[in-house]
Structure 1
Amino acid sequence: MYSFEATLSFAQQEDGKDELSKFKQEFYFPQRNGKDAIYFCGNSLGLQPKTVEAAIAQELRDWQDCAVEGYWKAKNPWLFYQTSMRPVLAEIMGAKEMEISVMNTLTVNLHFMMLSFYRPTKTRYKVLMEAGAFPSDQYAVETQVRHHGFDPNTAIIEISPRPGEHLLRTEDILQIINEHNESIAVILLGGINYYTGQLYDIATITAAAHKVGAMAGFDLAHVAGNVPMELHKWNVDFAVWCSYKYLNGGPGAVGGAYVNEKHAADREYPRLGGWWGNEESTRFKMEKGFIPKAAAEGWQMSTAQVFNMVSLKASLELFKAAGIQKLKEKSVRLTNYLEFLLQQVKGINFEIITPKNCNERGAQLSLLFNEAGKEIHQQLTDAGIIVDWREPGVIRVAPTPMYNSYEDVFHFYEIIANIASKRLIK
């Protein structure tokens, strides 16, 4: 159990004990009113590591000095650029290195994975996903279903919270899996729901999917770099993620994919082929006949997007130094402190719809406002707090352990409490 105090001195004391506090100095912060903003929006776009500029300059120099020979003579040879990121990502995602591929972008990877793992038949053709999933997932699944000649209205099963509730209950997910046991082809859930911040029980859901003969896949956009995973241990079939949120890869940065070893090592497993997914030993023979690498990189299409990967590579060096487990421990304490402080706020009608159990959430708390939510969001913005608004009524607040502090959390509380007190006076 944690013991907290709603005082600046307590927050500063906690920062003084925090061994990860030094990492805050490794990032650039947006400026508001002549000083660093309090940035709680890493769940939308992570901050820029200060090492990125030099990392990009290195690749520019190698391009300038080596031209095509940079593929093997650059400081970070471009031929194998993406492979250098696999060890850290494998640790973060709980995977074997051969199960990780750094490529494309999130929705492109989702389509590629669906083309491999969604192979419907006349009787087993349904996709199970959460109602209100992020639009990119909805669009991808809808168009995949249509691509195979099925009607999304009957082929997509959407799970909703119970009436009057905001969160999905694991037992309800399992019940629906059992009810549709012979017709479900793929279960595709967001690892963390973008709106509520709920972390799903991936291990239990995966086991239930396999029990009824379905594939289990996850969109881990809000998980990667936020919550440690054990994808291999849980026997997840596939997963995809972006790297521009908690992984700080920069806007539109390269995505990632996980393919379980049992599928990745199977060269006969169906997939679309590309030159860079071909077996390295025969790649430059320029011959007919696609022979995929016996790894997740067998789903890769093209050469490494070096300038779209360089920021992620720089950020992963910080993750390697900090350690995902230590980041998670700090994240739990930060969000618990934020929750404690928000409970002290009077005068604003809101509720925290993110699970209270810290094992069922990551760095994000979602505050649902019954009134004046957008107005309050604007007041927070004007006061130098960067959080985001999601329709129909949520302010998402994400104190990210890599670069946020307890003092940041306390100042957020001070500002929202001040907004609340003015509303009370009115």
Structure 2
Amino acid sequence: MNYQNTLAFAQEQDQLDPLRHFKDRFYFPQVNKQDAIYLCGNSLGLQPKSAQMYIDNEMYKWANLAVEGHFKGEEPWVNYHELLAPGAARVVGARESEVVVMNQLTVNLHLMLVSFYRPQGRRFKIITEGGAFPSDQYALETQTRFHGYNPDEAVIELFPREGEHALRTEDILASIKEHADELALVMMGGINYYTGQVFDMEAITKAGHEAGAFVGFDLAHAAGNVPLHLHDWDVDFAVWCSYKYLNSGPGGTSGVYVHERFGNDSSIPRFAGWWGHNAKERFQMKKGFKPMEGAAGWQLSNSQILPMAVHRASLELFDEAGMENLRAKSEKLTGYLEYLIDDVPVGEDVLEMITPRDPQARGCQISMLVKQNSRQLFDRLMEAGIIVDYREPNVIRVAPTPLYNSFEEVYRFSEILHGSLQTVGQK
């Protein structure tokens, strides 16, 4: 696509955008008594206007039915999680039986590691990306310690080559092959939170399986951002949160995927809970855990109804928009952002894009490495009504989200970026 650094071009693209009306279905924070230009969906998605209705429905049931809300009314709470499975499955490319919405992300990651990190003999090592999000790092560190290993020996972290910011797929695959005889698990983010790089999950999964290891992904930055095909890619397990691109509120509920080949395998170790027990016998309150079929057998507690109500509102928007349509817009929108950042007249000694240039190797997010006065630049952007996010030591992450961001907003960001660079003495 031939981009132009003009307001007229941006406005024309918005008029041609078949998804433009979704913007009106979200609330935007106010800065200086105006809607902010919100480019921070990679950290917390905006609130769908329909979320309040879904919460109010459950509050009404709580007020009028109390405990009977579990069993009475149009959508009893006892089965509420089942309402979310179809939409969640479509977002991550899975079968309905392979997904369940429950808990929060790191809780679910630990539950999956109980089942899929099973070190034995020489096979005790885990491959992950270096600089993974701290929750993943801490989970792998403590899980390996739990099994009696030194995490410095058990966790193999992969870093980009010197002078590069993204991991090469060929290097990931080579490391898996190199450590094949001692590898128990490959566990990576689907997208690196810092650089915005999308990993080749299909190739990584294939290589991990050839090495005899389980393969899983943390999709916190991938779910709702890029098309996923977990079942077809043969991924063993995955977890994700719902409060970033899935717009389901701060601390929102999490999702889990478990490939169907494990769904009815009661020999797999797991930490069990009442809600994962065979639903037909759940209220008999007997000893002896019998897991439900599919991913639902990993549930621990009864459903978080209010967070799930918000999540339901968002999933319906995703179904209406369609992931393929969202991805098509995202590639254009992020490509426009890349073009405009490149058009800012400063050199790489001031500003460097560390997100891959290949559209297939990134999602909505572009990360800018700011080499001079980074915090001051971030503050200027925020004061001007541009909500982005800052990651130490000097990265500003910008995420134009296709559900609610526009080409004009990206253009306005570029204008303000240019002006802000001048005010902090970087031009």
- TM bin, normalised by shorter chain, reads over 0.9
Give the equivalent residue in structure 2 for 1:368: 369
Give the equivalent residue in structure 1 for 2:419: 418
Of the structure 1 ranges 392-401 and 74-83, higher mean CA displacement relative to structure 2 is found in 74-83
Q: CA deviation at 1:419?
A: 2.0
What does 1:21-60 align with in structure 2 at a 5 Å threshold?
Answer: 21-60=20-59
Q: CA deviation at 1:422?
A: 4.4
Q: CA deviation at 1:98?
A: 0.4
**3-state SS in 2 of match to 1:280:** coil
Q: CA deviation at 1:81?
A: 0.8
Name the CA distance, whole Å, in 1 between partners of 2:180 and 2:421.
Answer: 49
Give the equivalent residue in structure 2 for 1:180: 179
Name the CA distance, whole Å, in 1 between partners of 2:57 and 2:211.
Answer: 51
What does 1:196-207 align with in structure 2 at a 5 Å threshold?
Answer: 196-207=195-206
What does 1:24-423 align with in structure 2 at a 5 Å threshold?
Answer: 24-347=23-346, 349-422=350-423
Q: CA deviation at 1:148?
A: 0.4
Name the CA distance, whole Å, in 2 between partners of 1:127 and 1:166.
Answer: 22
Give a deviation string over 1:36-87, Cα, whole Å, max 9, x none: 0000000000001111112111111101111122112234321111111111
Q: CA deviation at 1:308?
A: 2.0
Q: Give the conservation status (yes or no) of the 8 Å contact 2:105–2:255.
A: yes
Q: Give the conservation status (yes or no) of the 8 Å contact 2:11–2:408.
A: yes
Q: Give the conservation status (yes or no) of the 8 Å contact 1:103–1:254.
A: yes
**3-state SS in 2 of match to 1:378:** helix
Compared CA separation, residues 305 and 425, structure 1 to 2 (3 A)? closer
Report the AA paired with residue 219 of structure 1. D
Name the CA distance, whole Å, in 1 between partners of 2:3 and 2:217.
Answer: 35
Q: Give the conservation status (yes or no) of the 8 Å contact 1:346–1:421.
A: no
Name the CA distance, whole Å, in 2 between partners of 1:104 and 1:420.
Answer: 42
Q: Give the conservation status (yes or no) of the 8 Å contact 1:39–1:385.
A: yes
Q: CA deviation at 1:268?
A: 2.6
Report the AA paired with residue 285 of structure 2. M
Number of residue pairs matched by the alignment: 425
**3-state SS in 1 of match to 2:280:** helix
Name the CA distance, whole Å, in 2 between partners of 1:33 and 1:160.
Answer: 42
Q: CA deviation at 1:114?
A: 0.2
Compared CA separation, residues 167 and 342, structure 1 to 2 (3 A)? same
Q: CA deviation at 1:424?
A: 6.4
Q: CA deviation at 1:331?
A: 0.5
Name the CA distance, whole Å, in 1 between partners of 2:187 and 2:180.
Answer: 15
**3-state SS in 1 of match to 2:345:** coil
Name the CA distance, whole Å, in 2 between partners of 1:161 and 1:347.
Answer: 25
Report the AA paired with residue 408 of structure 2. E
Q: CA deviation at 1:9?
A: 0.9
**3-state SS in 2 of match to 1:251:** coil
Name the CA distance, whole Å, in 2 between partners of 1:142 and 1:208.
Answer: 23
Q: Give the conservation status (yes or no) of the 8 Å contact 1:14–1:406.
A: yes
Q: Give the conservation status (yes or no) of the 8 Å contact 2:277–2:289.
A: yes
Compared CA separation, residues 425 and 103, structure 1 to 2 (3 A)? closer
Give a deviation string over 1:75-129, Cα, whole Å, max 9, x none: 4321111111111111110000000010110000000000000010121000111
Name the CA distance, whole Å, in 2 between partners of 1:413 and 1:74.
Answer: 51
TM-score w.r.t. length of structure 2: 0.98
Name the CA distance, whole Å, in 2 between partners of 1:165 and 1:320.
Answer: 37
Name the CA distance, whole Å, in 2 between partners of 1:324 and 1:83.
Answer: 21
Q: Structure 1: give runs of 5+ residues left out of the alignment.
A: none
Q: CA deviation at 1:371?
A: 1.3
Name the CA distance, whole Å, in 2 between partners of 1:231 and 1:176.
Answer: 22
Report the AA paired with residue 96 of structure 1. R
Give a deviation string over 1:190-231, Cα, whole Å, max 9, x none: 000000000000000000000010000100000011011000
Compared CA separation, residues 321 and 425, structure 1 to 2 (3 A)? closer
Compared CA separation, residues 112 and 423, structure 1 to 2 (3 A)? closer
Q: CA deviation at 1:379?
A: 0.4
Q: Give the conservation status (yes or no) of the 8 Å contact 2:372–2:426.
A: no
Q: Give the conservation status (yes or no) of the 8 Å contact 2:376–2:424.
A: no
Name the CA distance, whole Å, in 1 between partners of 2:404 and 2:53.
Answer: 20
What percentage of residue pairs aligned between the two structures are identical?
53
**3-state SS in 1 of match to 2:181:** coil
Name the CA distance, whole Å, in 1 between partners of 2:238 and 2:322.
Answer: 21
Name the CA distance, whole Å, in 2 between partners of 1:45 and 1:77.
Answer: 29
Name the CA distance, whole Å, in 2 between partners of 1:74 and 1:32.
Answer: 42
Q: CA deviation at 1:421?
A: 4.1
